[in-house]
Structure 1
Amino acid sequence: MTIVSDLSPAQAHSAAVSRRFYITAWRWHFYAGLYVAPFLLMLAVTGLVMLWTATIFGRDGEKTFVVTPRSTMTGVSAQAEAAIREIPGQIVQYIAPRHPDQASLFRINQADVSFMVAVDPYKAETLGYWERRDGLYDLASTIHGSLMIGDLGDRLIEIAAGFGIMLVVTGLYLWWPRDGRSIRSILVPQLSAKGRPLWKSLHMSIGVYASLFLVVFLISGLTWAGIWGEKMTQAWSTFPAEKWDNVPLSDKTHASMNHGGVKEVPWTLEQTPMPASGSAAGVTGTPEGQPVSLDAIVALARNLGFDQRFQLAFPGDDTAVWTIARDTMSNDSANPFMDRTVHVDQYTGRVLADVGFTDYGLAGKAMAAGIAFHEGDLGLWNLILVTVLCLSIVFLSVSGIVMWWKRRPKNAARLMAPVVVEPGPLWKTGAFVMLVTALLFPLSGAVLITVLLLDLLVLRHVKPLKRALN
């Protein structure tokens, strides 16, 4: 029996070309997914732990204790004295309570160990203490940022994030409606299906909804990474210290205020030098002729508009400054437009620098809002959205593995990647996509080029390896 095709030779050729490109995109999606899925799973799980630990207990543990509000609070210096009596050492930070029923927090250093002490702001009595950055949030944060293996972990995650964006692009191409299907076919999962088709339909629909948010999360996360973020994006978008009018600068940058892998200063300020105390620079801050005390600095913060929660870093050496800060990244507020960092000379009480959201560059503003969104700090809607997204990423990672396992023949001793018989005429389009990836995300691009070279020079010439990886 002869089968007659309804397609003209030109249409048949076009369909074959399209099919080869589709299989090529699927192959990229497959290999990228093999590497990316475990990282996405880790990022989603640790992200959920951080999100809900901060929601229930507070990022710094400020929600652990509840106090009874009174008409007046004691002076912050009296609260600090109570904290020092509980944990003798060097006091380095004060965190004002967000709500009237919350405790004040003080960070105290004892040699190389840092403690947080909770104090009732109305009675100046200690409520408890704990080792700082030693809780579940901080463990999850360290895994989330570096896999607990330092720079190597940071680089591995950065590679995964770059490939993750490729995963989104190829996924959208693969699932985009074709062959007469409507957009509804990808937006509404086919729950009546069974087996692999059901997994495929759920993976496709959830992936489409999650893709836009996932790209935002990957890019905002990449801006913290060691190469794409620190060496490229952040370096080009750092707030210029020259904007401060003739202020002496320290050898330290704002990044020195971070604690380990936990970020505590706005992204755009991290690489900006700190101002230095010990000059007549700046504008009037605390009342002239009066001691520059802790209470005076806190009063200045309130006069400058720092209501509810803010953080006050104490001067750490002879040239250091008092730093009053509030930003969404540190969970101080739910409004990135209220970000503000003020540096005060420890001797004169004069304001040396005052940086707010409006002073940031475009990238800095995007990060102030993007990181706050990334961390679920913008309100209940943001908390729910991030939770749903993390659960969606967990499902996408698991379902991708399940689909591969179900497609793979029983007892197959190879990966069973989609097979492209020969490069199609659209190979240049694929090469362009890889070139763009290499330029935008150099670490991921370098790995991609290395893998291609290995394939060309080694893998395809060693038959056992070639078979195992296909």
Structure 2
Amino acid sequence: MTPEATRPSAGQARRPSTLPKRVAAPSGSLYRMIWRWHFYAGILVAPTLLVVTITGALYIFRSEIENLAHADLRFVAPAGERAGAQAQVDAAVEAFPGRPPASIELPADPGRSSVVRLGEGRGALAVHVDPFRARPLGAIDPDRPGWTEAFFTTVLKIHRELLAGWPGRLVVELTVGWTILLLATGLYLWWPRRGGGPAGVWWARFRAKPYTVLRDLHTVLGFYLLAPVAVIAVSGLFYCLVWGEAFHRATRGRPEASGGGTPSTSAAVRGDPDPTPMPALSLDRIEALARARYPDRNLFITLPEPGSRTFSLSAGNDYDNSYGPFVSARFELDRRDGRMVSHSTLAEDERYWWHGWAYPLHVGSVLGPTTKVIWLVACLVLAAMPVTGLWMWWIRRPAGRAGFPRRPDRPVPRGLVAAIAALSLLLPVVGASILLILTGEAIVGVVRRALARQSPAPA
């Protein structure tokens, strides 16, 4: 063909090509091995990952939704000085007689109501009281919860255990572990290589064919949200059944958790009833002493039994809406003189010292609304990943065949074997599943070879 034949005719504008350049995927055996594991890991966790991410996304804004649903109970208009804790307890008891007062929660935020709990245990009635007017605003009965309480209780139960008890918790832990493996293999598959441009790596090619658009959305969004998804997954391990218990056993006895707070006195001094009469400080005085020590934290005061020598208290920041870690301290004050009897912080707790950082990192409250929105987007994108992955496989599968990736002929590199072994040690549930998969694959291979030997040779 001559140059004249390819030159545009007069009046015909020369248009730059808008078609994306296709860069062939690397053909190395390592790339195919990792892509194969990525594919099968996605199929393995797709159903559960969809459930866990959707329920997690719903739970992120639980406190905001409950605040909207119960705004008349939770929020007040500040006016003058706050009433004492005793006056608020008395107002709650008068409004809802028949149940003994058990505790009172006094928020640091002047725009929030106090909560007096009447009755014991999980069946206690939560009475919201205006702290400035000592006026009950209403109550939430756990035996007849509102739609928000019932909804989020169910959402959390699905998120943690799929409504299946400890077997469900194992399945969720398996999903979390394989998700971490998906992130690692996905990062390797995304990694820019020679011969490829920025399109499809740093941004999606929306004018390309459907498969290319799906592939770009899958990889590009996955890369940009890799960090928050990794934080969500790793922090979720602390609440898993096997990994959480193993982590507790591995860190038991660390110096920071061996009783760094004020040592507790004997049980007789701390809380057992004293048969001899004694003068006791009022609840308002105990509140003042605790507030002087923790002016910017929410106070939770457990009302003592008659004759008990101590008040049990805790002080912490807002559990769901604080910036940074959740901090909490538990302490006891002597009823006679307000002396500190014992004191410990969450960071000193032998079992749950990690909770102060793990929870806000997991639910996205660590930097307030900003990270909550990012975490919400990350959950939704993570939920879409199995969908786009399976969609791509469906589009590209050969006619009449499943199109699953075959096992490479070359042996697995030692580095990859070492990485899988290390991952199996760090994530024991994933390690057990990998062992089962490899065992099943070996059995299938033996059966196939046996059948091939028994089949008659072609004439």
TM-score (norm 2): 0.78
Q: CA deviation at 1:21?
A: 1.6
Q: CA deviation at 1:168?
A: 0.5
Deviations 1:224-269 (A, max 9, x none): 212211332475167534324442478xxxxxxxxxxxxxxxxxxx
C-alpha distance in 2, partners of 1:131/1:156?
A: 33
Residue equivalent to 1:408: 397
Asked if the contact 2:273/2:309 (under 8 Å) is kept, the reply is no
Q: What code does the residue aligned with 2:413 have?
A: W
- 8 A Cα contact 2:316 2:329, kept in partner: yes
Cα distance in 2 for residues equivalent to 1:174 and 1:316: 63
Give 1:204 shift: 0.3
Q: Deviations over 1:74-98 (max 9, x none)?
A: 2222222232344443444433235
Between the aligned partners of 1:392 and 1:64, the Cα distance in structure 2 is 35
* Alignment: residue pair count: 410
Instruction: Pick closer, same or farther for the CA change 1:279–1:136 going to 2, 3 Å.
Output: same
Q: Is the 8 A contact 1:54 1:137 kept in 2?
A: no
Question: In structure 1, what is the Cα distance between the partners aligned to 2:175 and 2:266?
Answer: 37
Assess, with a 3 A threshold, how the Cα gap between structure 1 residues 123 and 138 changes in structure 2: closer, same or farther: same
The answer to whether the aligner puts 1:225 opposite 2:240 as a matched pair is: yes
Q: Which residue of 2 aligns with 1:191?
A: 206
Matched residues in 2 for 1:360 and 1:225: separation? 19
Structural mapping, 1:150-165, within 5 Å: 150-165=165-180
Q: Is the 8 A contact 2:334 2:340 kept in 1?
A: no
Classify 1:52/1:29 alpha carbon distance in 2 versus 1 (closer, same or farther; 3 Å). same
Please point out which of 414, 421, 437 is paired with 1:451: 437
| Alpha-carbon RMSD | 3.6
Question: Against the structure 1 CA distance between its residues 332 and 386, is the aligned structure 2 distance closer, same or farther, given a 3 Å change threshold?
Answer: closer
Q: 1:52 aligns with which of 40, 45, 61?
A: 61
Equivalent residue number for residue 253 of structure 1: none
Q: Tell me, in whole angstroms, the C-alpha distance in 1 between the residues paired with 2:95 and 2:399.
A: 64
Alignment of 1:60-209 (within 5 A): 64-87=73-96, 88-109=98-119, 113-132=123-142, 134-182=149-197, 185-209=200-224
| 1:190-229 alpha-carbon deviations (Å, 9 max, x no partner) | 1112211110110000111111221111111101212211
Offset at residue 341 of structure 1 (A)? 0.5
**Structure 1 counterpart of 2:140, one-letter code:** W
Match of 1:277 among 257, 271, 274: 271
Give the unaligned 5+ runs of structure 1: 1-14, 251-274, 281-288
Deviations 1:160-201 (A, max 9, x none): 111111111111111212242245641211111221111011
Letter in 2 for 1:379: G
Are the equivalent residues in 2 in contact too, given 1:62–1:102 (CA < 8 A)?
Answer: no
Measure the CA separation in 1 of the matches of 2:370 and 2:110. Answer: 24
CA distance in 1, matches of 2:322, 2:393: 44
Cα distance in structure 2, aligned partners of 1:59 and 1:137: 14
1:47-72 Cα deviation digits (max 9, x unpaired) = 22222221232499677543232102
Letter in 1 for 2:130: D
Q: Which residue of 2 aligns with 1:372?
A: 360
- In the alignment, which residue of structure 1 is the partner of 2:425? 439
* Deviation of the 1:319 alpha carbon: 9.4
Distance in 2 of aligned mates of 1:194 and 1:111: 60
Q: Supply the AA of the counterpart residue of 1:146.
A: E
Q: Shift in Å at residue 159 of structure 1? A: 1.3
Match of 2:406 among 407, 419, 433: 419
**Matched-pair contact (CA < 8 Å) for 1:327–1:340:** yes
2:28 matched residue in structure 1: 19
- Check conservation: 2:259, 2:348, Cα contact below 8 A: no
Aligned equivalents of 1:63 and 1:22: distance in 2?
58
Q: Whose Rg is larger?
A: 2
User: Are 1:343 and 2:358 an aligned pair?
Assistant: no
Identical aligned pairs, as a percentage? 27
Name the amino acid aligned to 2:224.
Answer: Y
Q: Quote the residue 2:316 is aligned against.
A: 326
Question: 3-state SS of the aligned residue for 1:242?
Answer: coil
Output the amino acid matched with 1:341.
Answer: A
Following the alignment from structure 2 to structure 1, what is the Cα–Cα distance between the partners of residues 437 and 185? 18
Q: Which residue of 2 aligns with 1:301?
A: 290
Moved more, 34-43 or 430-439: 34-43
CA distance in 2 between partners of 1:67 and 1:408 (Å): 61
Unaligned 5+ runs, structure 2: 1-23, 452-459
